[in-house]
Each structure stands twice: as structure tokens, then as C-alpha cells.
Amino acid sequence: MAMEPILVKFIEKPDLTDPVLVEGLPGVGNVGKIAAEYLVEKLNATKFAEIYSKHFPPQVLLRGDGLIYLVRNELYYYRNSGGRDLILLIGDYQGLTADGQYDLSYEVLRIAKELGAREILTLGGYATGRLEGVPRVFGAATHSHLIPKYTQYGVIFSETEPGGGIVGAAGLLLGLGMNFFDMAGVCLMGETTGYFSDPRSAREVLKVAVRALEVPVDLTDIEESARRIEEIAMRIAAEEEEEEGRRDLGYIG
Amino acid sequence: MAMEPILVKFIEKPDLTDPVLVEGLPGVGNVGKIAAEYLVEKLNATKFAEIYSKHFPPQVLLRGDGLIYLVRNELYYYRNSGGRDLILLIGDYQGLTADGQYDLSYEVLRIAKELGAREILTLGGYATGRLEGVPRVFGAATHSHLIPKYTQYGVIFSETEPGGGIVGAAGLLLGLGMNFFDMAGVCLMGETTGYFSDPRSAREVLKVAVRALEVPVDLTDIEESARRIEEIAMRIAAEEEEEEGRRDLGYIG
Amino acid sequence: MAMEPILVKFIEKPDLTDPVLVEGLPGVGNVGKIAAEYLVEKLNATKFAEIYSKHFPPQVLLRGDGLIYLVRNELYYYRNSGGRDLILLIGDYQGLTADGQYDLSYEVLRIAKELGAREILTLGGYATGRLEGVPRVFGAATHSHLIPKYTQYGVIFSETEPGGGIVGAAGLLLGLGMNFFDMAGVCLMGETTGYFSDPRSAREVLKVAVRALEVPVDLTDIEESARRIEEIAMRIAAEEEEEEGRRDLGYIG
Amino acid sequence: MAMEPILVKFIEKPDLTDPVLVEGLPGVGNVGKIAAEYLVEKLNATKFAEIYSKHFPPQVLLRGDGLIYLVRNELYYYRNSGGRDLILLIGDYQGLTADGQYDLSYEVLRIAKELGAREILTLGGYATGRLEGVPRVFGAATHSHLIPKYTQYGVIFSETEPGGGIVGAAGLLLGLGMNFFDMAGVCLMGETTGYFSDPRSAREVLKVAVRALEVPVDLTDIEESARRIEEIAMRIAAEEEEEEGRRDLGYIG
């Protein structure tokens, strides 16, 4: 008998009130992953399920104390006195294949539905190659009634961007959710170069998410991470400019 | 429980009379896609089913109003007072794998069979790299009795072309249809370079399809698109010739 | 409901006496394919089943009269008054994936078993890059009692060759047959360069197969095909030698 | 009916006492494979099952006497008067895909569990590119109580190495074992360059394994293989040094 494609280990089945499913898995610039893990940590959310799957790489990871764990996704919940409860999805990997991506998103939606979720917020990055300025946050929604809430936080719902659509769990959870689970939702995408893990972009996404989800999250630490990246980026940019200047003056062959 | 490989959402199950299944999905030069979408639009055909599948990319696409939809194929019907009814298959993608291609074609045939279809017309492109002249339309059939009707419209049933056979839904619907659904059919392939989306080739395919299907479709708009492409192509060809001329005269090293 | 991975269309279920399953599908130098198709043709064997599968490419092929057929494998039988009956497996493709290869070989063995087969002869090529001389025929068996019969026809059962084992249906039918169907068998591999379809190698394999299977097959036509290839090969070799000679003499820079 | 993904042929179902599952399949430097096959040979362990699967390559291998066998994994047992009984897993290949890797490890764990196993020792290599010195042995465990036993044999449980985790059966057996079979275990990884089969690294892994498993295994033969590799390695290193010296002196352009 073959192993089931997805094996979910429940730690508990929490009793939640109209929760919002929030996703942040590895992806472009790891923007969604950084943002969602920041929420889990700062909200001290409670893990209630681990998702193992043959759709993930056949691999264990080190925990740093000589111990290993099998690659997985994890579900947390947060009881929100200031707003709606949260179900948070984070993890080491997304599904390796199209089949795996669909299967995993479908399974997460089944669990979220069972826990009463009707709304989804997915977090991701949008590779523009652009480094200067404050990263903009783009949005895409399943239903138009969700858009005004986010535009008031500065989110851009563009006619054309992102041109290639949204690939992976951040898109699939919305697409499968609206078609097969009667859910509505929004994807927030922070601009990022796409070349490195980007806390600057995650910070901008978090600013919107924290307001939209009405959660008490202190953004000081992500601001700090973002600032460090900004300094590095500015230094590199300055060096490149200097370099170009010298080249223009003929100092370099 | 894993997601089913294919999920069909029916909007309605139309009552049709001896309908012909017409396919035009993305492929070589997008000839089939352009042609079939033109038919859907000009006939103002009615969508009756959406096909979602893990055989498609794990992706949502933007609709241009900040809203997303999950990649899919779509089935339309058209009640044809002048001839036989139509079932039209269009979509964003074909299946990503061999397995997916077979599964999706098989499922479409099951639906078409249920609706009474016994005949198929698939539309596609045939990459010849040839740009000059009016694109020819090649044909291939499941049964020889279907050939004369199409040769009278100028379709070429060649001994040797296309040499590699017909890959994807345009071929599979016919191959699976004749073997497992007792259907007969023809594939029309418009010559195209294979390097870009080609409304010129689609126009030639449409000329044949409109006559064969006896549908009231005005070809003015596709003529217009084709003309624009022709102008671009002629300009490029002229520039290339000029370029070569200069090269021959030694103007260019 | 997904399409079954393999769909077998039976034309008839022949009543055979202790038949031998003979396989020759596309592979190295197409040696097996050429040899097995030669047997089917010269024995005027009767097709009794067509095997369609999503493990094959999603493709139809042209028959040369404007008609198409879906890529497939085929099973023929031959009632042999001079020896044991034959079941012959030929086709357009082997399975595209490991999964597909196993599935298809397993299914063929199930059918052959049902028809009473206890022995297998698979035909293939062995790429040695070697062009000169008469191609040797290597053998590999499931059981040692089968070896003497073939060594008497000049087949070489080597300690080391082919080093990489036997890949594809020619190997799997034997490997699965011996383990799960209680069958015994031999694989004949004709030496070939591996760069082109090789009737010379097929001729050598056929010489052995015809004697082993005790079938009345005239080898004149394959001799003729082999001779044509030999002439081409010798001409190329001669030209290369001449070329090298000239190079040695400094005629060519 | 498709072939089952995994087919296990049992020769016997041994009655074992609290056995340890020991794995050594092909991988980095073939360290685990060399080590585990050495144990099987020196302990004269008894084969009790063969594992065939469509997750392996579609291939038969030669046994060296003109006979073939289908690629497989094998399970052996060893009744250990000096310590706990062993179940040993060796084989020709690991699963080709993520899906296959998970399936095969899961199946092996099912069998081991049925035979009473509660502990696992997996053997593998760790590519550091480092050739000089005695290869170190790194460890990773499912539970912290297992670590002290191995540190006393010199095994290093690092905070950071191997950085990429453990890929394949050596990792999965532990990861799936701890989560779904209530097992505990350790992976031993011998340092190796990753460029060739490395008996030196296997020797170091064996030194630890033999003590940890309390089995009477004479290491003379692996010492001999390791010494031969060491001599080759030292000769290459010396030549390279000489080469560099000459280069520094300008002898070589």
C-alpha cells in the first residue's frame, strides 16, 4: 500500500470564530514566508497541525541541535480579541510539481473550511527587478467587494500587473478557494528584486496585513531587518555608481 | 483525500442536436486558439462548463480589473439554426504532461459524447517556418469519408505532412474519439512560422471552418488582424532584403 | 473519472498453444523494432490487440492517406506449424517514464500469460559504436538452462556486456516475467553504432531468432536492406580514410 | 489494471527480537551502500525479501554469468547473539522521484515495524570536497537521548552540518519513522569528496556502526580497500603539489 500523498498530523482541532486563512510559503524573495513567519512569531500563534507530503522533497532538515525533522508545512491558529481569528500556513517548501501544488492547496482549504474559514489572505512577492524606493504592494482579489478595503491601505490593484498571474500556493489557494470552497480572498504581493530574501518587501506587506487583519503586531523587528538590507543595498548602489563614474572618466580600461 | 485530477463545473447541461465538438487550445502559432475564440466571440456562444485540473499550471491569471481566475479550459455551446449545433472548447493551457493531455482529452470527449456529439473538428497550426504567400491549410481525418468535404474548401490532405503527426489536444481528441467514443473527425492545421501568434493562419483555418460548420461568422475582424500582421511581416521582409542588398554591395563589412 | 493508464482493444483472443512472447519495440538502433516488424510482415501474423496508453506521447501519427491513428503498441499472433506459436509485440513508442515502462510491460505480460505464454524472446540493440565487421549478437537470460540453445547459434553470453544492463521493455519483460509471471526468457542484442536505424544488426538478430523460434521466414529482404546500409557505411569509411590520408599528406590545412 | 507501485517478494518473515533497521543504499560517495553491503557480507546475513518497484529505473542488470535480474532493493536479517537483531536494507537504486522515495521508505518502515523494529540506523556520505585527513563521521538524530551513545564513538552532532539536510532514504526513513511509525534513529554520515565511491569514508562509518550495533564484524577487508584508495589519493595529491611547484617556478607556461 503506497503512502498517502498528504499526511496531516493534527495536534488539536481548534474551535475558531470565522477565521481568516493567512498563507506565507517560500516563493519570490521569500516575501510571503518572512511576513507570515513574523506574524506567527509575534502573535505567538499555536501550532495545531503538521502537513507531510510526498509532494515535498524527500529530505529531512537539521534543527541545529543535532536533531532532524521531516520537511513539512505547518498550520497555526491565533485567537484574535481585536478582530477575526487567524489560521496561518507556513512551511519549508511548496509542492514540487503542479499536481503537488494543487493537492496541497486543496487539502489546506479542506482543513480551513472545516474550521469555519470563509476568507483568505495570501502573502507573496512580485519580482520587478526594482530596488530603489519603497517597495509597492500589489493586490489581486477573488471578488471586487474586497478591493476597497485594501486600496485604502495603499495596495495597488493593477490592470496589468503581475502580468504572468500568480504562481503557486498564493494563487492556488484563492483560485481553488473561490471555485470549490465558496471562499473569497486577496493576495498581497510586495515588490522585490527576486534575487534575494527581502525583508523590506515583507515589511510593506506586513504593514497592510496587520491593519487588514487587525492584529496587535509590533513591526519594530522587521523594520530593523529591512533597514539592514536597505543599508547593504544602498552601499552596493553607491559603489556601482562610483564604479560607473570612474568608468566614464576612463579610469578603468 | 487528494484533489481529483479534473474538476468540471457545469453551468448548465445544454440540450443539443447532433453537435460537432470544435477545439482550439493554445499551440503552434496559437492558430487553433485564435480561431476558436473568434468563433466563440462572433457566435456569442454560451459557456456551459469550466474545466479545472491539476494537469494545468498551478497558477491564477489576472482578469484586468484586479480580479483573478484559476487557469482553466471552457466549454461553450452554440445552437445553429443554419447547420449542426456546436460545442466549443477553448482555454488558457493544454495539459502539462502526457498523462494530463490524455486525461483532459478523454474527459472532454466524455462530456461531448453525453451531449450527443459524434463528430469533431480540431483547429491548430502547422509550423513550416514559411512566411510568404497565403498560409495553406492541411487536414488529417479519422475516416476517409470526411476528406472530400474538406478538399472542396482547399484543404490539403498530404501523404507526408505534418511529418511528426499531430501533438496535443488537436490530435488526441481525434485519436481517443475514434477509438473509444465512436466519433469521427478532422484536424485543420494552418501553416505558420511557429515563432509568433498568427492571425493570418487562423484566418485561413476559419475560412474553412465557417463553411464546414455552416455558421454565420463575419470574418472582417480576423481579416483586419491578419492584415496588420501581414504588413509587419512584409516590412520585416523588405528590410531584410534591403539589408541583404547592402551587404551584397559591400556596404556592410 | 480519469482515463485508465492503459486501454487494450482486443480484436480477438486467439487460442494458442504454448506461445512464445516476442518483443521488438523502438530502441537502440531500432534493432528490435526492425527485426520484430520483419517477422510480423513475413509471417503475415494476425493483429489481435491494440494497446493505447497515457504512458505514450499525446500524439496521433499520419498513415500516409490523410488519415491518422493514435500512437500505440500492437499484439500479433502467429500459429506456427513448424514450432511453437508466437505472440509478437511491436509499436510506435515505449513508455515515456519509468512508471509507464513498468505498467506497459506488466500489462503485456498479463495478456501473454492469459494466452498461455511461458517463454519470452526480446529483441534489441546494443550500442558499441563499432561499425566494422559483422555485428555480433549478445544474449542475456533469465535462467541458465536457456543459454546453450542460443550459444549454438553464435550468441555471446558475456560476463560483462552490456555493462549498463538492459533498459526498457526488452529488459523489463524478462525481469517482471521471471519474478511475477513465472516466465523464462532471453534477450538478443545486436551490436550497433547507436547512431542510426540498423538493419545490419537486425539481420544478425533475425538469423538467431528465426532458428530459435523455428519459423519459416525468408531473410532475403532484410539481407538486401542490410547490404544497402553496408555499402553506405563502407563508402563513408573509405571517404574518411581518404580524407585522413590527404590530411596526413598535408593536402588539407 | 496497473502494476502496483511497489511489489515485495518475501522469502520468509523472520521472527526477530527488537531489531534495528540498518539502511545503506546508493548515494553520496556510495558510503552507505559500501558500509551496509559490508555488514551483510561479513555477518552472512539472510535475505528475506526483495523489493521491486516502478519507482526504480526500468532496467535489468547482468549478474556476470549471462543471467539478468530486475533492479531492486533487498532486505536481510541477522540474528545477533551479542546485541540486538538487525534488518538490513541494501539495493541497486533509490527511488527516482520524490514520490518514489517517500513510497519506498514508507513501505520499508511498514515491513520493519511489522517485524518489531523500533530503532533505525541509516548510513550515508556527506560531501565536503575534503580529501585530506581521516574522514569525520557526522550524525543526526530523531531524539536527543540517542546522541550521547554516538558522541562517545567520536560522531559529531553539528549545529550546522550538513547544511542542506539529509536527502533520500537515509533522511526519509528517520523522518517518516519518527512521525508515522513511532521509531527513533540516527543517521551516520561519513565525510567524502563526493567525486568517487569512497571506502575510506565507509570504513569510518563502519567503525561506529559496528560498535553501536554490537556486531562481530572484522574490518580488515574494508581497511584494505580504504588503504588502496588512500594510496591513490596521496599519489594524486603529491602529483598535484609537484605540478603546482613547477608552475610556481615557471616551468609550465
Distances, alpha carbon A133 to alpha carbons A192, A209, B63, C221, C245, in Å: 11, 20, 28, 76, 69
Pick from A18-32, A122-136, B166-180, D13-27: least confident: A122-136
Q: What proportions of chain D, in percent to the nearest 5, are helix, strand and coil? A: 40, 25, 35
Q: What is the pLDDT of residue A251?
A: 47
Q: How far is B10 from chain A (nearest CA, A)?
A: 12
Q: B: neighbours with 3+ CB pairs under 8 Å?
A: A, C
pLDDT, tens digit (0-9, with 9 covering 90-100), for A155-205: 999 988 888 899 999 999 999 999 999 999 999 999 998 888 999 999 999
**Beta carbons of B144 and C66 less than 8 Å apart:** yes
Q: What is the pLDDT of residue C82?
A: 87
Q: What is the pLDDT of residue C232?
A: 83
Give the span between the Cα atoms of B103 and A98, in whole angstroms. Answer: 15
Domains of chain B and CATH, by start: 6-219 (3.40.50.10900)
pLDDT, tens digit (0-9, with 9 covering 90-100), for C34-45: 999 999 999 999
Q: What is the pLDDT of residue A2?
A: 83
Closest chain D residue by Cα to residue A71: D175
Find the helix packing angle between C220-248 and C199-213, rounded to 10°. Answer: 150
Q: What is the pLDDT of residue B236?
A: 79
**Beta carbons of A98 and B69 less than 8 Å apart:** no
Confidence of residue C253 (pLDDT cuts 50, 70, 90): very low
Q: Is the pLDDT of residue B252 over 50?
A: no
pLDDT, tens digit (0-9, with 9 covering 90-100), for B202-239: 999 999 999 999 999 999 999 999 999 888 877 877 88
Q: What is the pLDDT of residue D247?
A: 63
C99 within 8 A of D103, measured Cβ to Cβ: no
What's chain C's average pLDDT? Answer: 93
Q: What is the pLDDT of residue C252?
A: 42
Q: Is the pLDDT of residue C31 over 90?
A: yes
Q: What is the pLDDT of residue D224?
A: 96
B95 Cβ neighbours under 8 A, 6+ residues apart: B53, B55, B56, B101, B102, B103, B104, B169, C58
Residues paired with D51 in a beta bridge: D8, D73
In chain A, residues with a C-beta closer than 8 Å to the C-beta of B92 are: none
Q: What is the pLDDT of residue A195?
A: 82
Q: What is the 3-state secondary structure (H, E, C) of A109-166?
A: HHHHHHCCCCEEEEEEEEECCCCCCCCCEEEEECCHHHHHHHHCCCCECCCCCCCCCE
Q: What is the pLDDT of residue A252?
A: 42
Number of neighbours of residue D83 by Cβ within 10 angstroms: 14
pLDDT mean over A125-143: 91
What is chain B's alpha carbon radius of gyration, rounded to the nearest angstrom? 19
Confidence of residue B187 (pLDDT cuts 50, 70, 90): very high
* Cell numbers given for B59: 497558477
ipTM score assigned to the predicted complex: 0.92
Share of chain C above pLDDT 90, in %: 81
In chain D, residues with a C-beta closer than 8 Å to the C-beta of C176 are: 3, 52, 70
Q: What is the pLDDT of residue C250?
A: 54
Q: What is the pLDDT of residue C34?
A: 98
Closest chain B residue by Cα to residue C62: B165
What's chain D's average pLDDT? Answer: 93
Distances, alpha carbon B171 to alpha carbons B20, B123, C93, D84, in Å: 16, 10, 16, 61
**Pick from A101, A141, A143: which is nearest to B58 by CB?**
A101
Q: What is the pLDDT of residue C1?
A: 67
pLDDT mean over A39-43: 98
Confidence of residue A1 (pLDDT cuts 50, 70, 90): low
**Beta carbons of A139 and B66 less than 8 Å apart:** yes
Q: Is the pLDDT of residue D246 over 70?
A: no
Q: Is the pLDDT of residue D251 over 50?
A: no
Q: Is the pLDDT of residue D162 over 90?
A: no
CB pairs under 8 A between A and D: 100
Q: How far is D150 from chain C (nearest CA, A)?
A: 39
Number of neighbours of residue D218 by Cβ within 10 angstroms: 9
In chain B, residues with a C-beta closer than 8 Å to the C-beta of C50 are: 179
**Beta carbons of D65 and C176 less than 8 Å apart:** no
Q: What is the pLDDT of residue B207?
A: 98
Q: What is the pLDDT of residue B246?
A: 67
What is residue D134's DSSP assignment? Answer: S
**Beta carbons of B62 and A142 less than 8 Å apart:** no
pLDDT mean over A117-124: 98
Q: How far is A223 from chain B (nearest CA, A)?
A: 29
Q: Is the pLDDT of residue D61 over 50?
A: yes
Q: In what order do the strands lie in the sheet with C86-91?
A: C6-10, C46-53, C73-78, C86-91, C20-23, C119-127, C184-192, C137-141
Q: What proportions of chain C, in percent to the nearest 5, are helix, strand and coil? A: 40, 25, 35
In chain A, residues with a C-beta closer than 8 Å to the C-beta of B64 are: 159-160
Q: Is the pLDDT of residue D126 over 80?
A: yes
Pick from B127-141, C5-19, C20-34, D63-77: least confident: B127-141
Q: Is the pLDDT of residue B250 over 60?
A: no
pLDDT mean over C220-239: 87
CB pairs under 8 A between A and B: 100
**Beta carbons of B68 and A187 less than 8 Å apart:** yes
pLDDT, tens digit (0-9, with 9 covering 90-100), for D34-60: 999 999 999 999 999 999 999 999 999
Give the span between the Cα atoms of C119 and C147, in whole angstroms. Answer: 13
pLDDT, tens digit (0-9, with 9 covering 90-100), for B37-79: 999 999 999 999 999 999 999 999 999 899 999 999 999 999 9
Cα A76-A82-A84 angle, rounded to 5 deg: 50
What's chain B's average pLDDT? Answer: 93
Instruction: Name the interface residues of D facing A (CB cutoff 8 Å).
Output: 5-6, 95, 98-99, 101-103, 105-107, 110, 139-144, 147, 157-169, 171-172, 174-176, 178-180, 187
Element containing residue D225 per DSSP (H, E): helix D220-248
pLDDT mean over B125-141: 90
Q: What is the pLDDT of residue C97?
A: 97
D149 Cβ neighbours under 8 A, 6+ residues apart: D212
Q: What is the pLDDT of residue A108?
A: 98
Give the span between the Cα atoms of A81 and A251, in whole angstroms. Answer: 63
Give the span between the Cα atoms of C141 and D61, in whole angstroms. Answer: 11
Confidence of residue B253 (pLDDT cuts 50, 70, 90): very low
